Amino acid sequence: MEDLKLISQLKALKEIRPRENWVVFTKSKILSTEQIKATNIFSILASRFYIQNSKKLAYVFALLLFVVAGIFSFPGNAPVDNQAVIKKNVVALSNVVNDLAKQGKTDSVINGIKTNALELARNLNANPADPDVMKGVAVSLKTLANISGVDLSLDADIENLYQTVVKNQITDLEKSTLTDEQKVKLAEIKELYNNKKYAEALEKILLINSQK
């Protein structure tokens, strides 16, 4: 009897159904809880990703600043004063020409003249100097041409410097106010330049400059 009664009670419990509104409420609570957990997990992952990448970005930015600061502070990358370099070249050329006049023709002096002429011509072609500096170069070349027993006017490096100076001086004269006689001289200078007679052209240029 007891077993039959127990079985009857179990069947009665099995027939019990929860109310519909309670089922909906419970389901919504469970889903809400799962959504909160998912949101929290996403927030944690996003936060970690942001922190990790922020550290990387900060490191990269600091490294970039270090490199830029190094570039501008390194002495070898300081801005170059081209006119100061050219003036230094002119002084160096003048000194070796004077050495040639005093010591005579020696290999070291001749090599010094050629080296200075080559460097000066290259710098003048890249960065035209002011007229006074160019006149200084012209005077050094004139001095070189007047040294007895030495003729370097046909040497490739010296000739290149002659050409650079004469071309620059012609441009300067064309911008100047000249007399009719000087205009005739300028035409002669241009003809000499075109015929590659740079030393002769320079002689006439110095003559015009002395009359200005």
- Tell whether the model's pLDDT for residue 98 goes beyond 50: yes
Residues 118 and 192 in one domain: yes
DSSP for 95-150? HHHHHHHHH-S-HHHHHHHHHHHHHHHHHHHHSPPPHHHHHHHHHHHHHHHHSTT-
Across the range 75-89, mean pLDDT stands at: 72
pLDDT at 71: 47
d(CA 189, CA 85): 29
pLDDT at 210: 82
Rg (CA), the chain: 46
The CA dihedral of 22, 25, 29, 35, to the nearest 10 degrees, is 140
Residues 64 and 90 in one domain: no
Across the range 8-17, mean pLDDT stands at: 54
- Tell whether the model's pLDDT for residue 92 goes beyond 60: yes
Q: Which two tokens stand for residue 62?
A: 């600091």
Across the range 155-160, mean pLDDT stands at: 91
Domain of residue 153 covers: 82-211
In sequence order, the 6+-apart residues with CB closer than 8 A to the CB of 155 are 114, 117
Residues 206 and 106 in one domain: yes
For residue 81, what is the DSSP state?
Answer: -
- Asked which of 45, 73, 101 is the last residue of a domain, the reply is 73
H-assigned helices in the chain: 2-14, 20-73, 82-103, 107-126, 131-146, 156-174, 180-194, 198-211
Residues 92 and 68 in one domain: no
- Asked which of 73, 103, 123 is the last residue of a domain, the reply is 73
Residues 202 and 109 in one domain: yes
Quote the number of domains for the chain. 2
Residues 161 and 189 in one domain: yes
- Asked which of 17, 42, 73 is the last residue of a domain, the reply is 73
Across the chain, mean pLDDT equals 75
pLDDT confidence band for 105 (50 / 70 / 90) = confident
Across the range 83-102, mean pLDDT stands at: 90
pLDDT at 82: 81
Across the range 10-30, mean pLDDT stands at: 54
Task: Tell me the per-residue pLDDT of 54-75, one tens digit each, with 9 for 90 and over.
Answer: 555 454 444 555 444 444 444 4
pLDDT at 67: 46
Residues 103 and 184 in one domain: yes
Q: Which of 24-33, 53-62, 78-87, 182-191 has the least mean pLDDT?
A: 53-62
> 44 or 106: whose pLDDT is higher?
106
pLDDT at 60: 47
